[in-house]
Amino acid sequence: MPEAESHTVRVDLPGREYDVVVGEGLLADSGAKIAALGFGNRLAVVSDSNVAPLYSGPLLESLSSAGFEPSLHTVPAGEASKSVSVVEEVCREMIRAGHDRSSALVALGGGVVGDLAGFVAAIFYRGIPFVQIPTTIVSQIDSSVGGKTGVNAPEGKNLIGAFHQPRLVLADTETLASLPAREFNEGFAEVIKHAAIRDGEMLDDIMKVGGPRGLGSLVARNVAIKARVVEDDERETSGTRAHLNYGHTIGHAIEAAGGYGRFLHGEAISLGLVAAGRISSQKVGLGVDSAQRVNAALQKFDLPTQLPADIGTDQILDLMKTDKKFAGGQIRFVVVPELGSAELRSDITEEEITAAIEALR
């Protein structure tokens, strides 16, 4: 084992504190760690058709050894499972498996599983406790931490959901080794975003990444960034949590313009980060060299920095307007005045956004 130690990051929300444990091989010991939370013995494990064949075996075995009676609920892999109808189906399966308000849930998988299963936990019998076991870069450093759960509506992503904090997050970095290269790489869009908004020096470490092994420290460093933001602004009311949307206003619209199949989330966010970097340089003085460092990091992970010609700027702009980040019709746009800090602005014009999208061509 190149890295035997584990890292624990505490998410300090009053009354709902929890640990994010990061380390290689955690899955084998997950049952004991979950047993320490004091749940009843009934657990529903929710996973998807890609992850369950790889990791549900060791997880269920560890849970059974720790005295749990787990049931397994597997949804089809892919974003299409983040739907209201799949939420209902999982709830119904859990009812038929005998679960009730005394049960708890374990989400095993990437961002789709975490968002979906977390939402199931939020609304099953009006809410049961849950544990996240994220198996991708993005879910380990971002989506499993902070309690945002939910599904998509046909009209847009993540429009139906709830804030429901997990009771524990177990990020086993060994699972990252099984990711296809493209999915491994896409996760770094959010890592690079974290560097841009909170920790410019991390870009040096990002440039040294040589593969999926030995990533524990970097994952934990990113979890800590996310945890501090969530502690400051759990429900995205003060504006701090909105900093995490850096690159996402344009990125989400590009993802939607590609029909959610053409770009992986991180690939669309990569394009959004390039555009937001340009706006930051023009509007709040981000050094052009700093913006270039971000773009170079994206390119190191084969993330796109150029927009395909067939995706229209008008289409992207229209999609931006149905996005959640438009509170009361006003554009809230995150900019980075210097690497490591961010601010939320309402004075970014449609013209400036249009020019930044055009510059991606």
Is residue 193 near its own copies by the rule CB under 8 A? no
Which of 154, 180, 210, 259 is the binder for its own copies (CB under 8 A)?
A: 154
Binding region for its own copies (CB under 8 A) out of 135-143, 156-164, 239-247, 304-312: 156-164
Q: Which is nearer to its own copies, 96 or 208 (CB)?
A: 96
Question: What span, in angstroms and rounded, lies between the C-alpha atoms of 92 and 195?
Answer: 41
Q: Taking the C-alpha atoms of 231, 232, 234 and 235 in order, what is their torsion angle to the nearest 10 degrees?
A: 180
Which of 82, 148, 221, 248 is the binder for its own copies (CB under 8 A)?
A: 148
Q: Are 73 and 93 in contact (CB under 8 A)?
A: yes
Place of tokens 């920095």: 305
Q: Determine whether 271 is exposed, middle or buried from the number of CB atoms within 10 Å of its CB (0-12, 13-18, 19+).
A: buried
Binding region for its own copies (CB under 8 A) out of 58-66, 105-113, 155-163, 200-208: 155-163
How many angstroms separate the Cα of 257 from the Cα of each of 33, 72, 83, 217, 261?
42, 35, 19, 35, 10
Q: For the CB of residue 34, give the shortest distance to its own copies in the complex, in Å.
A: 17
What is the size of the binding site for its own copies (CB under 8 A)? 38
Q: Which is nearer to its own copies, 83 or 354 (CB)?
A: 83
- Kindly write out the interface string for residues 312-351 of this chain, putting x where it contacts its own copies by CB under 8 A and - elsewhere: ----------x-x-xxx-----------------------
Q: Which is nearer to its own copies, 66 or 87 (CB)?
A: 87
Binding region for its own copies (CB under 8 A) out of 117-125, 131-139, 219-227, 297-305: 117-125
Q: What are the contacts of 90-96 at 24+ separation with CB within 8 A?
A: 90/46, 90/116, 90/117, 90/120, 91/120, 91/123, 91/124, 94/44, 94/120, 94/124
Which residues inside 45-104 make contact with its own copies, applying CB under 8 A?
84-85, 87-88, 91-92, 95-96, 100-102
Q: Which is nearer to its own copies, 72 or 121 (CB)?
A: 121
- Strands 343-345, 333-335: pairing kind: antiparallel
Q: Report phi then psi at 130, rounded to 5.
A: -150, 160
**Interacting residue ranges for its own copies, rule: CB under 8 A:** 40, 42, 84-85, 87-88, 91-92, 95-96, 100-102, 119, 122-127, 148-150, 153-156, 158-163, 322, 324, 326-328
